[in-house]
Amino acid sequence: MLLFINACVRADSRTRRLADCLLSALGEPATELRLTDISFPSVDEAFLQERDRLLAAQSYDHPMFALARQFAAADAIVIAAPFWDLSFPAALKAYLEQINVVGVTFRYTPEGVPEGLCRARKLYYVTTVGGDFFPEAFGFGYVEALAKNFYGIPEVHLIKATGLDIWGANVEEILRACEEEIQNNHQKKEK
Task: Count Cβ atoms within 10 A of the Cβ of residue 135 and give its class: 0-12 exposed, 13-18 middle, 19 or more buried.
Answer: exposed
Q: By mean pLDDT, which of 49-53, 74-78, 130-134 is the weakest? A: 130-134
What is the arithmetic mean of pLDDT over 126-141? 89
pLDDT tens digits for range 80-106? 999 988 899 999 999 999 999 999 999
Question: Rounded to whole angstroms, how far apart are CA atoms 151 and 154?
Answer: 9
| Domains contained in the chain, CATH given | 2-186 (3.40.50.360)
pLDDT at residue 189 greater than cutoff 70: no
What is the value of pTM for the model shown?
Answer: 0.95
Residue 176's contacts (CB-CB under 8 Å, 6 or more residues apart) are none
pLDDT at residue 75 greater than cutoff 80: yes
* SS3 per residue for 28-55: CCEEEEEHHHCCCCCCCHHHHHHHHHHH
Percentage above 90 pLDDT, the chain: 90
What is the arithmetic mean of pLDDT over 149-161? 97
Q: If pLDDT is split at 50, 70 and 90, which confidence band does 191 have?
A: very low
